[in-house]
Chains A and B, each alone.
Chain A
Amino acid sequence: MLYDIFIDPFVQMYEMPDFFLQVLWEGFVAGILYALIALGFVLIFKASGVFNFAQGIMVVFAGLTLVGLHENGVPAYLALILTIGVMGVLAYGVERVVMRPLVNQPDIILLMATIGLTYFLIGFGEFVFGGEPKQMITEELGLPTGSTAFEFGERGLVILQHIDIAAAVIAVIMVAALGIFFNKTRIGRALRAVADDHQAALSVGISLNQIWAIVWFAAGLVALATGIMWGARSDVSFALEIVAFKALPVLILGGFTSIPGAIVGGLIIGFGEKIGELYWGGLVGGGIESWLAYIIALIFLLFRPQGLFGERIIERV
């Protein structure tokens, strides 16, 4: 038993380096995709202190809008632009109808409001697009398909899916763009001010409503990117909503308010769950990755209760 836990997995890594590389690659891709989902949560939490329960359904809604428009004859790129517009309208609507009337309400009220929004979007999405799954328009969007295999040793093979490479590149671009936006622009700085203290931000003339609408729009864009990437790996259906909750351990680990935390947290969870499942999962019958992510997050929390990059809150009485 001790051999199976402490020795055998490393022997396997050594004996099958191609497979180990493949596991690392899959962990990296999963991590990037988890990070993308987590980013959506972080953006809204930073600006309003709300855990946006609707982030998962926003991923589905964005993906379905894109594919649904294309199915109705709209060219792929125009559909993409229109979908961005729809996410903008949604952000504006959420700010006007959900956020604004609830300003200064306790956080739990806002959380409940996002749960309500989730059910509204499920119903509205099914009403408009139906419940049938749709194929992501990967090729029409110019995203690569297919795979490249690298031979490794005598029998070894590392297979890289082109769409996974694209997902990694797009995620990096999005993170960089968001980083620049929040650090180098006036609106970004305003958002950070709002995140630090709503009342102080209001007192210096920052429009809370405008910031919220922008943040929800940014979260919508992240949801769209996530929907495209996850949709390409499977299909676009309401089942994708469940995948979004893979971001929870990422958020616990990375902190709810940190963009770098979402990225690093996503990667740690991605690598950790794949390596854990593939090399240690068999010891308990497999299927451990769904809870292993939480165990990894909890271990980190033992040492950093605020998450890796979360803000340390010190309250004195």
Chain B
Amino acid sequence: MKNIKQLALGTAVAIGVGLSGAMTTVAQAEENYVPLLTYRTGPFAASGIHIANGMHDYLKMLNERDGGIGGVKLVTEECETGYNAQKGVECYEATKGKGALVYNPYSTGITLQLIPKAGVDKIPVLSMGYGLSAAAVGSTFPWVFNVPDTYWDGASVVIKYIGEQEGGLENLKGKKIGYIFLDAGYGREPIPLLEQLAEKYGYELLQYPVGIKEMQNQSSQWLNVRRDRPDYMVMWGWGAMNPTAIKEAVKIRFPMDKFIGVWWSAGDDDAAAGGEGAKGYKAMNFSGVGRDFPALDDIQKYVVDAGLSSTDAETMGGTLYNRGVLNSVIIAEGIRTAQELTGKKVITGEDMRMGLEALDLTEERLKELGLSGFAHPMKVTCEDHAGSHPVFIQEWDGKEWRQASGWIEPMTDIVRPLLEKAAAEYAEKNAPWPARTEPCPN
């Protein structure tokens, strides 16, 4: 009797597995699959949740409102990485066989792990405004995209902005610029450029690393800041590091209008943690401020109000939520472009690579998407996978972010040669790095 039961159970499981396999095949035949590597738990959840919500909601909205892209529904699947490189790679390995079109690691550490895999597995990596700066060089990294900007672009914008505040870059000579950063691949990434610019413009770069274990215990770093009295502070923080740094800056009475964060230190929760004292804190940004965009209204109508999202409606329009939306806009436009280029509705990772390489998000297209003014128009070329697009500075007014500058162009004349040099060095260190054979769709 026991054997019969086991046999029946085994048969049922076998049939179930067989059926689900068949269904997966069908799904792959009629849908485009986009895995989302996210983190809603752990020390970086404070930032990760909003990004994950924004990414999920926009793609879901396209499914609900338009039936997907080009008449083909999108299948999304979140995999929790906890901002951990090892878990990120596990997520990648677990999902790549399902027909993944593109990976968004949301961690420079995970991105660095996936870069060598992308060309082998023929699945592009989209590290939107993060990751390896040198990956902008499309001839060396045909499978990696870091549009709209690299960290080196961002670092050059910060220095340019500080120069403007001082009446010209030539006035930076003799100034002290402090750099507080998460002591990980992400935070260390812009240091070569900041050092290069320090040499060129004559400012002194003071570095304040914050270990992951010290994210909520930064009093030493800020005591050092107090003693060194830098003229400006620049921050490359993430997760729990951001609110703590802003609180500590308030605590030592650092002038907040001279404290500028990267676009990942621009969360609403980050600034709000500093209370009234955080007024004047600034951060770079390249995605829309606020929620006055028709596409966000559609997200609310088709996704949030319909109960298809875990987003709290009040957090819509926040900087990091909007950043997640922009990430999905780039994914969606990459898919749409790939469909146009190949004439196929259901595309592959290779098609997606071409779609991303031919991405041309014009002002007209942004308007059609209901996102006019949400981002600067951006274009990817075969040579330049970042595009070094302009960014703006936003300022915290105690309650919300306000745009505090016009669009500022990165110093491409300085950044681009350095990116090319770094790309060549990467290829040399990782020899034999494959020469590009992928055709250019432009």
Whether A273 touches B240, Cβ cut-off 8 Å, given contacts A133-B46, A233-B247, A245-B213, is no
Bound-state Cα–Cα, A22 to B251, Å = 12
Q: Is A148 an interface residue (CB 8 A)?
A: no
Q: Is A93 an interface residue (CB 8 A)?
A: no
Q: Is A85 an interface residue (CB 8 A)?
A: no
Whether A233 touches B46, Cβ cut-off 8 Å, given contacts A22-B226, A161-B251, A238-B41, is no
Q: Is A80 an interface residue (CB 8 A)?
A: no
Bound-state Cα–Cα, A130 to B226, Å = 36
Mask: chain B, 92-116; 1 = CB below 8 Å from A; 0 = not:
0000000000000000000000000
- Which residues of chain A come closer than 8 Å to B239, judged between CB atoms? 239
Bound-state Cα–Cα, A159 to B252, Å = 8
| Interface pair B216/A234, CB less than 8 Å apart | yes
Name the distance in Å between A134's Cβ and chain B's nearest Cβ. 9
Q: Is A111 an interface residue (CB 8 A)?
A: no
Name the distance in Å between A156's Cβ and chain B's nearest Cβ. 12
Q: Is A230 an interface residue (CB 8 A)?
A: yes
Interface size class of B (residues with CB under 8 A): 35 or more
Whether A278 touches B216, Cβ cut-off 8 Å, given contacts A234-B240, A237-B46, A238-B42, is no
Q: Is B265 an interface residue (CB 8 A)?
A: no
Bound-state Cα–Cα, A278 to B251, Å = 17
- Which residues of chain A come closer than 8 Å to B208, judged between CB atoms? 286
Contact residue among A19, A26, A242, A277 (Cβ-Cβ distance under 8 Å from B216): A242
Whether A287 touches B209, Cβ cut-off 8 Å, given contacts A22-B223, A22-B226, A239-B240, is yes
Name the distance in Å between B27's Cβ and chain A's nearest Cβ. 29
| Interface pair A274/B45, CB less than 8 Å apart | no
- Which residues of chain B come closer than 8 Å to A161, judged between CB atoms? 251
Q: Is A299 an interface residue (CB 8 A)?
A: no
| Interface pair A233/B244, CB less than 8 Å apart | yes
Mask: chain B, 248-275; 1 = CB below 8 Å from A; 0 = not:
0001110000000000000001001100
- Which residues of chain A come closer than 8 Å to B252, judged between CB atoms? 159
Q: Is A46 an interface residue (CB 8 A)?
A: no
**Taking CB as reference atom, which chain A residue is nearest B243?**
A235
Q: Quick one: which of A182-220 are within 8 Å of B by CB? A: none
Name the distance in Å between B57's Cβ and chain A's nearest Cβ. 16
Mask: chain B, 33-55; 1 = CB below 8 Å from A; 0 = not:
00000001111111011000000
Q: Which of A19, A161, A239, A245 has the most CB of B within 10 A?
A: A239
Mask: chain A, 121-142; 1 = CB below 8 Å from B; 0 = not:
0100010001111010000000
Bound-state Cα–Cα, A23 to B225, Å = 12
Name the distance in Å between B265's Cβ and chain A's nearest Cβ. 14
| Interface pair B41/A159, CB less than 8 Å apart | no
- Which residues of chain B come closer than 8 Å to A238, judged between CB atoms? 41-43, 45
| Interface pair A131/B219, CB less than 8 Å apart | no
Whether A132 touches B247, Cβ cut-off 8 Å, given contacts A239-B239, A242-B213, is no
| Interface pair B273/A235, CB less than 8 Å apart | yes
| Interface pair A235/B40, CB less than 8 Å apart | no
Bound-state Cα–Cα, A134 to B43, Å = 13
| Interface pair B45/A287, CB less than 8 Å apart | no
- Which residues of chain A come closer than 8 Å to B272, judged between CB atoms? 135
| Interface pair A242/B220, CB less than 8 Å apart | no
Bound-state Cα–Cα, A130 to B42, Å = 10
| Interface pair B216/A131, CB less than 8 Å apart | no
Q: Is B361 an interface residue (CB 8 A)?
A: no
Q: Is B139 an interface residue (CB 8 A)?
A: no
Whether A286 touches B209, Cβ cut-off 8 Å, given contacts A278-B220, A278-B223, is yes
Bound-state Cα–Cα, A285 to B209, Å = 9
Q: Is A110 an interface residue (CB 8 A)?
A: no
Bound-state Cα–Cα, A282 to B209, Å = 12
Mask: chain B, 197-210; 1 = CB below 8 Å from A; 0 = not:
00000000001111
Q: Is A262 an interface residue (CB 8 A)?
A: no
- Which residues of chain B come closer than 8 Å to A22, judged between CB atoms? 223, 226
| Interface pair A237/B247, CB less than 8 Å apart | no
**Taking CB as reference atom, which chain A residue is nearest B212?**
A242
Q: Quick one: which of A107-128 are within 8 Å of B by CB? A: 122, 126
Interface of A is mostly: helix
**Taking CB as reference atom, which chain B residue is nearest A282?**
B224
Bound-state Cα–Cα, A274 to B226, Å = 14
Bound-state Cα–Cα, A81 to B227, Å = 42
| Interface pair B244/A234, CB less than 8 Å apart | yes
**Taking CB as reference atom, which chain A residue is nearest B211?**
A290
Name the distance in Å between B101's Cβ and chain A's nearest Cβ. 27
| Interface pair A240/B49, CB less than 8 Å apart | no
Bound-state Cα–Cα, A239 to B214, Å = 10
| Interface pair A274/B219, CB less than 8 Å apart | yes
Q: Is A30 an interface residue (CB 8 A)?
A: yes
Whether A147 touches B251, Cβ cut-off 8 Å, given contacts A132-B45, A234-B243, is yes
- Which residues of chain B come closer than 8 Å to A78, judged between CB atoms? none
Bound-state Cα–Cα, A198 to B179, Å = 54
Q: Which of B217, B226, B227 has the most CB of A within 10 A?
A: B217
Mask: chain A, 235-261; 1 = CB below 8 Å from B; 0 = not:
101111111011000000000000000
Bound-state Cα–Cα, A314 to B221, Å = 43
Name the distance in Å between B180's Cβ and chain A's nearest Cβ. 11
Name the distance in Å between B42's Cβ and chain A's nearest Cβ. 6
- Which residues of chain B come closer than 8 Å to A290, judged between CB atoms? 211, 213-214
Q: Is B215 an interface residue (CB 8 A)?
A: yes
Q: Is A90 an interface residue (CB 8 A)?
A: no
| Interface pair A242/B43, CB less than 8 Å apart | yes
Whether A133 touches B240, Cβ cut-off 8 Å, given contacts A19-B227, A243-B217, A286-B209, is yes
Q: Is B409 an interface residue (CB 8 A)?
A: no
- Which residues of chain A come closer than 8 Å to B223, judged between CB atoms? 19, 22-23, 26, 274, 278
- Which residues of chain B come closer than 8 Å to A242, judged between CB atoms? 43, 212-213, 215-216
Whether A132 touches B41, Cβ cut-off 8 Å, given contacts A30-B219, A234-B244, is no
| Interface pair B216/A289, CB less than 8 Å apart | no
Q: Quick one: which of B25-75 are within 8 Å of A by CB? A: 40-46, 48-49
6 smallest beta-carbon distances between A and B, as pairs: A131-B45, A239-B43, A239-B240, A234-B216, A133-B46, A234-B244
Residues of A within 8 A of B (CB): 16, 19, 22-23, 26, 29-30, 122, 126, 130-133, 135, 147, 159, 161, 230, 233-235, 237-243, 245-246, 273-274, 277-278, 281-282, 285-287, 289-290
Residues of B within 8 A of A (CB): 40-46, 48-49, 183, 207-217, 219-221, 223-224, 226-227, 239-240, 243-244, 247, 251-253, 269, 272-273
Q: What are some 9 contacts across the A-B interface (CB < 8 A)?
A: A16-B227, A23-B223, A126-B40, A131-B46, A131-B48, A133-B240, A161-B251, A243-B217, A285-B207
New A-B pairs, 20, CB < 8 Å, besides A131-B40, A147-B251, A278-B224: A26-B219, A122-B41, A126-B40, A126-B41, A131-B41, A133-B45, A135-B272, A159-B253, A230-B216, A234-B240, A234-B247, A235-B269, A235-B273, A237-B43, A239-B42, A246-B213, A277-B224, A278-B220, A289-B214, A290-B213
